[in-house]
Structure 1
Amino acid sequence: MRADFTKMHGLGNDFIVLDARTRSLPAIDQAMARALTDRHTGIGCDQLILLEPSDTADFRMRIFNHDGGEVEACGNASRAVALLHGAAASVQTSGGVIQVEPRAQGASVDMGEPRFDWEAIPLAYGMDTATMPVGWDGLDKPGAVNVGNPHVVFFVEDADAAPLDTLGPEIENDPLFPERVNVNVATIVNREHIRLRVWERGVGLTRACGTGACATAVHAMRCGLVEREVTVTLPGGDLTIAWSEDNRIRMTGPATEAYRGSFEWDDFA
């Protein structure tokens, strides 16, 4: 069978979107997700996004990382899906139901409530998640936040200088994180601005990570370092993150449709 896809990106974090809401598709396994996302022999992207019908929301969004693993949440993909859907909607994810709304040249997403308990991150054992008594070669005392998926956040003097390409995979796969973890290194520019780089679980260094921006901003707010609404600058561009008094996180930023195409399913199955 021939399947249609839409190639999209949010600040350079790119996706293949398959829409199975009205036309069913065969099951996707880890091997097929890896084949489609491969940049040399497949279509190529950071994440494969599958849209399906939902009994609890307007539709369901499933997310497969570049390594083929399925994960709970993706903020940039949520904005892309809002743009593709073209109207406000509730979206079921493995990390919970989120609310998306297209905006001019992008979208706004209600990412839900952050979780800080060590069991919710999850960590292998209990500790204070605001200042964790752990470190890796100069990166130490991070905070941990779950915003639909697990993150650790390190505040550093210069985010661009942090050796995230080497320490990222080490921290991601540390036994402290039984479900692995996304790794964020951030510099507080001022009370309304954060610079951020992210090692994304199952992907690697990425130009942008929406959930990473949310986790980093909320941790900085929790520590009293910034205001309750900030600009987060990633290598791919800026996101606006607000943490409201009702404990919900709202992310606003651009999303772009790059092109549409189709492929033979059996070539990748």
Structure 2
Amino acid sequence: MIDKEVATPAEAVADIPDGASLAVGGFGLSGNPMALIDALLAQGTTDLSIVSNNCGVDDWGLGVLLNARRIRKMTSSYVGENKEFERQFLSGELELELTPQGTLAEKLRAGGSGIAAFYTQSGVGTQVSEGGLPRRYDGSGGVAVASPAKDVRSFDVSGRARDYVLEEAIVTDFALVHAWRGDRHGNLVFHKAARNFNPLAAMAGRICIVQVEELVEPGVLDPDAVHLPGVYVHRIVEVGTGIEKRIEKRTVTARGEA
């Protein structure tokens, strides 16, 4: 078996070129591969096309790349927490392919599974299937690029005919992923909510780069506890358990009021 460990996040992302496409794990601020994102920021890579559930916030997650004008296009399902994202999109600086969340997850999974496309009910009867969703504005309030119409077919499922829209799978040049534990062969275990889009992003990348909080020797992980097998992983770097983990919105109740 191949030892996939690399020494530093900078070494792990060193060959990601300008113009690359990336699948990036995380949901909100949970499970963001921040060490890899920061390393990519530091090396100056630009003109990126990124597939991720969201684009972080102004100073965290993919938001740090966005603020540095390193992202050309986002394929996301949610963009509501980032003011700079809104500004760049409405001004025509950023292209956005807005995708239903479950559809985005399945597009990534399909790409990693060798499935070219699939039919789903999500988006039928809306601009998702009919086309016309703004992808890029012209800076003056007009739409410069709009989404195309997609193929819609009727299928008889369980004795009831319904319409389904064709969605194409996503495969990217690279994937950036955060995991809780991993071994040198690339087998991964994710922790609670940080599991989110990380396994799916890992599957979709032709080259998958993973940061783990703890790197262990092969054989330490219980095979039944592995969430993603090492066949999907190409590089793994240990970042330690002391990394910062942010929470988007914290709600607390005074003691005794619960």
TM-score, normalised via structure 1 length: 0.24
Q: Which has the larger radius of gyration?
A: 2
The structure whose residues are more often helix, as a share, is 2
**Structure 1 or 2: larger strand share?**
1
